[in-house]
Structure 1
């Protein structure tokens, strides 16, 4: 007798430079999604039914995730017990090598849990680097981890004043991109948090003499519209 599938919530992170985004793509593309690698790794667990990752938060090409989440169902062969959480994390990470994708932790959840629809909030982080006259001046340890607009400085007080207009519930029609689902989605969303604050760079204390400034813009909401947060400088996403 085949045992019922066990459902797990997993949190995972990835360095997204080499991927088309988090969502699954056709395997015959030259650049595929993070989900492709997650599901390829999961098939090594020898499930009775192919494993599908249901991801809570979408990211686009080149965007990284500090902590994204997904749920998956694993049905094992008769007589095989369900994986415990540590076994699952270890096994998936083993089969993800050498991809820059890591499972952070896993939790057994009920069959009614859904990673996308049960998510309480999503947070997008943008990192800005000020002080570079040309993109070639970006420290090598910060490549693909920040956006460096050329010239000038940030008017932080004005940015913080403007951010207050985004807080709360609004119609964000003019902030979104169009896709096949756009006509069926409400453009109304509630922004719960907007923070603009100084940030540290990796090993930045070793090049303080260059006068570089790192800033972090954080946006948190229950959900966002398709590309409401433009990916040009988005470097991390946390879904919880």
Structure 2
């Protein structure tokens, strides 16, 4: 790199409903990715070259991020000194104003730092609600959770089943059955799988007092394509009594994406990338 080119680790969040996932899409596509807008905002900063964001964690259409990350190399025109971290954040957010995207923080890192490969872990939260169907959700919760069951779920059984997923396993049964996964190892380590009560935007409003929100939290260094949404759907099936915790283990040990028949994936709406962790970076 030149002396004036600096690599930044950028943390950002977005409301994923209106975007074609986080990854860059062709510029003429009707619905663009979050990366497109980050790079368009950066290009308005009068840079010496094109700013290319290297995203740490892929999210699909409709999936949200409380905090995703990327690294980007930035060199200003005319040999001007590098942006301070605060100025870069403010400048990017100024040009992102029309979008449901916000830069949270920027940190100068070494030229060899890679947002994807240096990540220690990724934490996802899947939000589900019981006590209503999708059309009865408060308007501020739509596209932000899955109305999984009009009655209640057997949470203890779901928690027991979630424990079967912890540790290092072949997660082929919970990957998307398409060619995208052919050359990727299905061996992953799940560090955390919790189911905890949560709250919605209107937890005390009498009209919604029968609603119960739950957070399904998953942490691992990396995940297979759509793994979290498929694990969530299987856990909800346990909560509905359609599967037993033992059958959940049998499905995983089958190592077959078709082992859990029927509707095998939870909707994108309820999934949030919560954080990406790095060594020594808060």
Contact 2:134 2:142 in 1 (8 A): no
1:239 aligns to 2:276 (yes or no):
yes
Corresponding residue SS for 2:72:
strand
Instruction: Provide the rounded CA distance (Å) in 2 between the counterparts of 1:229 and 1:202.
Output: 24
Q: RMSD in angstroms over aligned alpha carbons?
A: 1.5
Instruction: Provide the rounded CA distance (Å) in 2 between the counterparts of 1:43 and 1:85.
Output: 17
| 1:111 match | 111
1:78-157 superposed matches below 5 A: 78-132=78-132, 134-157=133-156
Contact 1:122 1:239 in 2 (8 A): yes
C-alpha distance 85-143 of structure 1, shift in aligned 2 (>3 A): same
| 1:225 match | 224
What displacement does 1:78 show? 3.5
C-alpha distance 152-182 of structure 1, shift in aligned 2 (>3 A): same
Contact 2:69 2:115 in 1 (8 A): yes
TM-score, length of structure 2 as denominator length = 0.81
C-alpha distance 174-209 of structure 1, shift in aligned 2 (>3 A): closer
Q: More helix per residue: 1 or 2? A: 2
Instruction: Provide the rounded CA distance (Å) in 1 between the counterparts of 2:56 and 2:9.
Output: 10
Contact 1:194 1:218 in 2 (8 A): yes
| 1:34 match | 34
Question: Which structure 1 residue ranges, 5 or more long, are not aligned?
Answer: none
C-alpha distance 178-47 of structure 1, shift in aligned 2 (>3 A): farther
Question: Deviation per CA, 1:38-60, whole angstroms, max 9, x where unpaired?
Answer: 00000011111100000111111
Instruction: Provide the rounded CA distance (Å) in 1 between the counterparts of 2:111 and 2:43.
Output: 20
Contact 1:3 1:75 in 2 (8 A): no
Contact 2:48 2:78 in 1 (8 A): no
1:44 aligns to 2:44 (yes or no):
yes
Q: Which moved more, 1:148-157 or 1:173-182?
A: 173-182
Contact 1:124 1:234 in 2 (8 A): no
What displacement does 1:4 show? 4.2
What displacement does 1:151 show? 2.5
| 2:233 match | none
| 2:60 match | 60
Instruction: Provide the rounded CA distance (Å) in 1 between the counterparts of 2:24 and 2:164.
Output: 35
Question: Which structure 2 residue ranges, 5 or more long, are not aligned?
Answer: 230-265, 278-282
Instruction: Provide the rounded CA distance (Å) in 2 between the counterparts of 1:16 and 1:172.
Output: 26
What displacement does 1:152 show? 2.5
Question: Deviation per CA, 1:194-215, whole angstroms, max 9, x where unpaired?
Answer: 1101001113212366311001
